[in-house]
Copies of this chain bind each other. A is one copy, B any other.
Amino acid sequence: MDRLPGFRDFYPEPLPHPDVWSADARQYIFDKWRTMARRYGFREYDGPPLEPLELYTLKSGEEIVAQLYNFTDKGQREIALRPEMTPTLARMVAAHERNYKKPIKWFAIPQLFRYERHQKGRLREHFQFNADIFGEADVAADAELIALLIDTLRSFGLTAKDFVIRLSSRNAWQEFFTQRCPDPGKANEFYQIIDKLEREDPAQSREKLARLGFSLDEISAFIKTGQPTTELEAVLKNLSARGLSEFVRVDYQVIRGLAYYTGVVFEAFDQQGEFRAIAGGGRYDNLVKLISGGKVNLPALGFGFGDVVLLELLKARGLLPKFDGALDAFCLIEDESLRPESLKLITDLRASGLAIDYALTPAKPDKQFKRAQEMKAARTIKLERTPAGELSARIKDLRTREEKACAPAEAAQVLGK
């Protein structure tokens, strides 16, 4: 029986098949995400992987349903597997923001889902690092969020040669739109065309824009020559103070497709232009009000940073480590009469924080040693009886082949804990 199309199985490395994913690499990425968020003072939250369908249609309109993994549950409720985290977060913040001092800095690592038909081979789920700030209207918050994104990318070993944050302004685009089109109801359609400019056939974009009364040429000119807004200048200055200028540049090509952005927007791209956007985000000052039915009004901003493009990029740049079980030692039991004492030693070593494995059942010494090597154990440890009848632990470093003996009670210390 197979898994569902578009879903992933995560196996321990080394991977048994090109069709499966690494659980070790996934955890490596999650650990870096969580570590950097905490260094920046972000606190973790999570919500349900399922939400009422309405939470998404409210914000994005009924068209969104075509891309959702939605269904009717046994209680006849219209349900969707979450396609993004922001509506859940806005719901959670709106419900209890009074109990938290502002600014609220929160992060999550949700699994997200979509269901587009006719997209064979495309993933229907991914994981995403989400970081958001609530209750701060100043662009100092935008700079803080972008700095977190930059530092997180750097924590994987990526440099300014590998990625760049393209910074833009929904405000600038809104002004551009308003000066040329009297119908604000068409703004979202306009933003979506701009969002697709880089990926779409220019003739098609030109036609779509013309239908809204815009010329592709004036838009191309604005993208090329538009001056940074005051807010963008302030973000650049803030990032410059941090020493992060080389990682960011203003680029009005970026606009973000989703309807709810209101100010600074940004996307992280690989410098060689091989991959889709690595991450993206921006300000969405009106969303909490919308989701809370007008009860709570808080400025907000955030980004989403998925695992799939990041993995592709890290692999392509040779920055993804190889993983093994990270065993501190493999305990050899060559003398079966010492199995009870060996089990006690193993228990004690594990209790002291060491990762230890051993042969569950009697096996020849060379087979046990081979197993220790296969598992990439750092060392072997084995109990021996001295001529005086006392127990001694013999520890061998599998890299240096160096050996030493010690009392069993000292083994944890010798092994480094």
Contact = CB atoms under 8 A, between A and B. Distances in A.
Contacts of A58: 1
Contacts of A343: 238, 241-242
Contacts of A355: 38-41
Given A1-B91, A44-B23, A356-B39, A361 B138 contact: yes
How many monomers of this chain does the complex have? 2
Given A1-B54, A8-B48, A374-B101, A241 B140 contact: no
A226 interface: no
Given A7-B48, A10-B45, A49-B49, 10 more contacts: A1-B54, A3-B91, A4-B79, A24-B43, A40-B350, A41-B355, A41-B375, A69-B74, A101-B371, A243-B347
Interface centre among A141, A344, A353 (most CB of B within 10 A): A344
A350 B40 CA distance: 7
Nearest to A239: B343
A340 interface: yes
Interface stretch (A12-20, A260-268, A394-402): A12-20
Contacts of A41: 325, 327, 355-357, 375
A225 interface: no
A326 interface: yes
A183 interface: no
Nearest to A116: B74
Interface residues of A, number: 96
Contacts of A3: 47-48, 51-52, 91
Q: Is the interface of A mostly helix, strand, loop or mixed?
A: mixed
B340 A241 contact: yes
A246 interface: no
A11 B70 CA distance: 25
Given A99-B16, A241-B339, A24 B44 contact: yes
Interface string A107-133: 000010001010000000100000000
Contacts of A73: 69, 71, 115
Contacts of A77: 4
A351 interface: yes
B361 A11 contact: no
Interface in A148-201: 151
A360 interface: yes
A23 B4 contact: no
Interface string A195-234: 0000000000000000000000000000000000000000
Nearest to A140: B360
A151 B7 contact: no
A353 to B, nearest CB: 7
Nearest to A8: B48
A236 interface: no
A347 B43 contact: no
5 contacts: A9-B46, A10-B44, A11-B92, A17-B99, A71-B72
Contacts of A117: 74-75
A59 to B, nearest CB: 11
Given A48-B7, A101-B371, A360 B138 contact: yes
Contact of A46 (B26, B92, B341, B354): B26
A391 interface: no
A403 to B, nearest CB: 22
A74 B39 contact: no
A52 to B, nearest CB: 6
A50 B4 contact: yes
A11 B96 contact: yes
